[in-house]
Structure 1
Amino acid sequence: MKKGITMLLTAALFVVLAGCGNGNNGGNAGNNQASTAGNTETNAGQTNAEKPEEPKKENVTIKVFQFKVEIADALQKLAEAYEQETGVKVEVETHGGGEDYSALLKAELAAGEEPEIFNSAGWAGFDPYVDRASDLSGEAWAKDLVEASKAQISRDGKLLGMPMNLEAYGFTYNKDLFAQAGITALPQTLDELEAAAKKLQDKGITPFALTSEWWSMGIHTLNIALANHEDPATFIEDVKAGKATFKDEPVMKDWLRLVDIMFANGQKNALTTDYNTQVAEFAAGKYAIIQHGNWIQGMVDEVNPELNLGMMPVPLGAKPYTFTGVPNNWIVNNKSAHAEEAKAFLNWMVSSETGKKYIATDFKFIPAVSTIAPDTAAIGKIGGDFATFSQEHADQVKGWNWDRFPDGITQQWGSAMQEYLGKQISGDELLGKLDKAVADIVKR
């Protein structure tokens, strides 16, 4: 696990800081079915007027059932550009934020709808969809993937999805509000975090922007504890096998104190605050800290692009840590009507100049393929701060582990966290519910 995260971190830093450095932005152009219309010259020196264009396809629609609300508008514009260039219509349906994407996707499939492309997490989160996933190992872009991004979406040596991007999170914080409160050094321990929260409160600043979204608490907050185990993968397998429990684990006791500090120093209406409101109010300068990562940069910029933000590691245990991984994958559904057209769309997305621009600039992604140069200005202050920190403190970057658990567990964790946020259950009861969620799902 540690080796894999180090590889992922190294590759991510190479992409973000070195700008890929290989000048191979057109490396896949020869395999792109739809990019010739944007080029003024071919390798043979022909102009577009001299070279016959591929005929546009008519009456072909591919559906993309996707998760990331942050890119919904930009993805729709990308789909329109693809239709204009190729004649293939791309219908985008987005379900995220406060919606349970996994449940909605399963309902879609159960109803007999088979979108050409859908999103899935990796590891165990991908297990329900393995039989629908097309083998993408031979696609032109596959050889250019960041190496450590592949394992989470591979089975039996086959690459069964396209990693969407790389993301990182910790505590994103407002540097100006920290300065107003006289906080001159980032907290390294839970005691220091509690002291920093008090300084903020004393200045009339609410420290934490909280949300009641199950996925934020049941996935990202829980991962802080999972990742802080010496060997997260082994611990998780032991929990699934009934050999270990959250309730008896010392790390979980420290994690409970972290959660208590966050919940005690957040806004009063946290239980009714959804993701969009949480981010918008943080962007408006109402709160000093939010537990999200570089994926909120675009939403923040819509409110205040000048906001002075950074990413701080989360105090817990001997050192504070940030967390990085692949958030989602594009899966080509082999049971859909136009799987080959779906592959062509993904190829175009990562090889055409239009697609590259959208990924790097409009989506504000840290690319998962080395042939797309990152747009460091678009990535923004949060991702840039993470890149600097992780370069200087590679030993303080850990991975994402929630998808090692079967689907359904994190949803129950999120529900239990909501109860704890609402003071309906005690800390011990919360840990007991975390254990019960694993036992219930694994037994099935």
Structure 2
Amino acid sequence: MLLILTVIVSACGGNSGGNSGESSGSNDSGGKSVKITFLNSKSEIQQQLADAAKQFTAANPGIEVEVITTSQSQSPVEKATSLYSAGTPATLAMLDAGDIAKFKDKAADLSSEKWVKDLAQPNELDGKTIAFPFAIEGYGFIYNKAVVDKAAGGKFDPATVNSTSSLEDLFKKIETSGSAPLIIGSMDWSLGNHFLALTYAAQPEGDVNKYLESLKSGEAKLADNAAFKGLMDTFDVMKKYNKGKNDPMAVTYEQSSAAVAKGEAAITFNGNWLITEMQKSNPTGEFGFIPVPVSNNASDKANTSLAIGATKQVFIDKEKSSEQQQAAAKKFLDWLVYDQAGQDFLVNKANVIPAFKNITLQPTNSLAKAIVEYNNAGKSIPFAGNDVPGDHWKVLGASMQKYLVDKSDRAALAAEVEDYWKNVK
């Protein structure tokens, strides 16, 4: 009996799994079931991603995928760092593109994966592919077509807005038609990593990193920069016509989305990811994009272009994740690219534009279609938020919020931006 008991205890305790997430079971990965975690930093698709994980598990019974998310007060890089500090990193971590380099020593080399050959554009760091581009995204002014068409007295052509003054003319027409021209969301990530980052993307030479290096060295003077001054001229016009100007910081992501979706406001500043939230208020609504002007010169490329890029990137942890977990994670990424259900999740459920040539599904929502049209027409500038540090949105997003509520002037904002970059290591 003692011998039998010893054998039973040994069998039960021989593979506790620890942080590996592995347990006994039966599948195609050596007879063990595997649990992997996916850190999701696109909160608007949390439910869709959780549903996709269940679909994947149903097709791959030996692999369980748990989706975890970041809180509104925590950036993706902070969440990933805290998980590593706790010794429990996510198997798959979705971060902003600019933060992948911080984890390059912890990321598995994915260069030999099948999907690398199907990338629309190379996605390398130091000559290796260590991250999976989850989506192509873009942003600018999102407008409700029905509301703006009414104000324009016919079908509105977004190309007619190619300067700050023509943008204000449109705001006046919308106001005259009886609608609020604009509502500004107060989110720090939107104001910091998207709106302010247009300054970096709109530099004449078009080299974002070169300009950021000049900010780090103290050579660049933001207060004298034409793109910054023009962009803030546009922001001043936005503040003037803001539906929420009596209490700007009270306007949330959800409120700005619903206002435009319902036609309570004609325009807001955001990206194509907003469509998931907008469809909650108006499932059949048609929306479009207007580029954000950075000058009164109609020939400036930035005035007729959207910021577009491969934004969210996913890396696989190799530091704490077992070989079985890494293999399961790779299988999940393959499922997204090559399985019909995975492709359907990306394009139709998550409403993202895939970064892979083999995916022929075309986006059906109006915002994604507009991004594709601008991109195919060559009307794009860099998604500069991909090139900034993980705390940029918090620090300089707060600076933009102060400017939004008139607690700071343009000189103070410029000084805070310059000080931030001088202290970036």
TM range (shorter): 0.7 to 0.9
Residue 312 of structure 1: how far off its partner (Å): 1.6
Per-residue CA shift, 1:186-216, capped at 9, x if unaligned?
A: 3221111112112222333222221111110
**What is the rounded CA distance, in whole Å, between the counterparts of 2:102 and 2:363 in structure 1?**
36
Residue 76 of structure 1: how far off its partner (Å): 0.5
**What is the rounded CA distance, in whole Å, between the counterparts of 1:260 and 1:88 in structure 2?**
52
Residue 365 of structure 1: how far off its partner (Å): 1.8
From the superposition, tell whether residues 414 and 194 of structure 1 become closer, same or farther in structure 2 (CA, over 3 Å). same
1:252 aligns to what SS in structure 2?
helix
Indicate yes or no: 2:249 matched with 1:265: no
**What is the rounded CA distance, in whole Å, between the counterparts of 1:409 and 1:216 in structure 2?**
11
From the superposition, tell whether residues 406 and 376 of structure 1 become closer, same or farther in structure 2 (CA, over 3 Å). closer
Indicate yes or no: 2:319 matched with 1:335: yes
Letter in 1 for 2:277: M
Residue 134 of structure 1: how far off its partner (Å): 0.7
Residue 94 of structure 1: how far off its partner (Å): 1.9
**What is the rounded CA distance, in whole Å, between the counterparts of 1:288 and 1:359 in structure 2?**
28
Matches within 5 A, 1:285-364: 285-317=263-295, 318=297, 319=300, 320=303, 321-337=305-321, 338-364=325-351
On the 8 A contact 1:366/1:374 being kept in 2, the answer is no
**Which residue of structure 2 aligns with residue 252 of structure 1?**
228
**Which residue of structure 1 aligns with residue 97 of structure 2?**
122
- RMSD between superposed Cα atoms in Å: 2.1
| Aligned with 2:414 (options 431, 434, 440) | 431
**Which residue of structure 2 aligns with residue 367 of structure 1?**
354
Matches within 5 A, 1:13-412: 54=28, 58-86=32-60, 87-95=62-70, 99-123=74-98, 125-148=99-122, 150=123, 154-182=124-152, 184-185=156-157, 186-231=160-205, 232-233=207-208, 234-268=210-244, 269-317=247-295, 318=297, 319=300, 320=303, 321-337=305-321, 338-377=325-364, 380-392=365-377, 394=378, 396-412=379-395
**What is the rounded CA distance, in whole Å, between the counterparts of 2:375 and 2:64 in structure 1?**
41
**What is the rounded CA distance, in whole Å, between the counterparts of 1:430 and 1:418 in structure 2?**
10
Residue 328 of structure 1: how far off its partner (Å): 0.8
Residue 69 of structure 1: how far off its partner (Å): 1.5
**What is the rounded CA distance, in whole Å, between the counterparts of 2:251 and 2:43 in structure 1?**
17
| Aligned with 2:405 (options 409, 417, 422) | 422
Letter in 1 for 2:102: P
Letter in 1 for 2:338: S
**What is the rounded CA distance, in whole Å, between the counterparts of 2:386 and 2:31 in structure 1?**
38
Letter in 1 for 2:149: A
**What is the rounded CA distance, in whole Å, between the counterparts of 1:96 and 1:162 in structure 2?**
23
On the 8 A contact 1:247/1:435 being kept in 2, the answer is no
Residue 99 of structure 1: how far off its partner (Å): 4.5
Per-residue CA shift, 1:209-260, capped at 9, x if unaligned?
A: 2111111000110122211111233212211122113122122111111111
Q: Which runs of 5+ in 2 are unaligned?
A: 1-26
**Which residue of structure 2 aligns with residue 4 of structure 1?**
none
Per-residue CA shift, 1:284-313, capped at 9, x if unaligned?
A: 221111212221222222321221211122
**What is the rounded CA distance, in whole Å, between the counterparts of 1:96 and 1:350 in structure 2?**
28
1:170 aligns to what SS in structure 2?
strand
Task: List structure 1 segments (4+ residues) > 6 angstroms apart after TM superposition.
Answer: none
1:176 aligns to what SS in structure 2?
helix
Residue 54 of structure 1: how far off its partner (Å): 4.1
Per-residue CA shift, 1:346-380, capped at 9, x if unaligned?
A: 12222222212211221122111111112332xx1
Larger Rg: 2
1:91 aligns to what SS in structure 2?
strand
1:92 aligns to what SS in structure 2?
strand
State percent identity of aligned pairs. 24
Residue 267 of structure 1: how far off its partner (Å): 2.4
Greater mean alpha carbon deviation, residues 366-375 or residues 326-335 = 366-375
Q: Which runs of 5+ in 1 are unaligned?
A: 1-52
Count residues in correspondence.
Answer: 381
Greater mean alpha carbon deviation, residues 267-276 or residues 178-187 = 178-187
> TM-score if structure 2 supplies the norm length?
0.84
**What is the rounded CA distance, in whole Å, between the counterparts of 1:280 and 1:375 in structure 2?**
25
On the 8 A contact 2:100/2:313 being kept in 1, the answer is no
From the superposition, tell whether residues 122 and 389 of structure 1 become closer, same or farther in structure 2 (CA, over 3 Å). closer
**What is the rounded CA distance, in whole Å, between the counterparts of 1:129 and 1:172 in structure 2?**
34
Letter in 1 for 2:101: D
Letter in 2 for 1:196: L
Residue 407 of structure 1: how far off its partner (Å): 2.8
**Which residue of structure 2 aligns with residue 45 of structure 1?**
none
On the 8 A contact 1:56/1:88 being kept in 2, the answer is no
1:386 aligns to what SS in structure 2?
helix
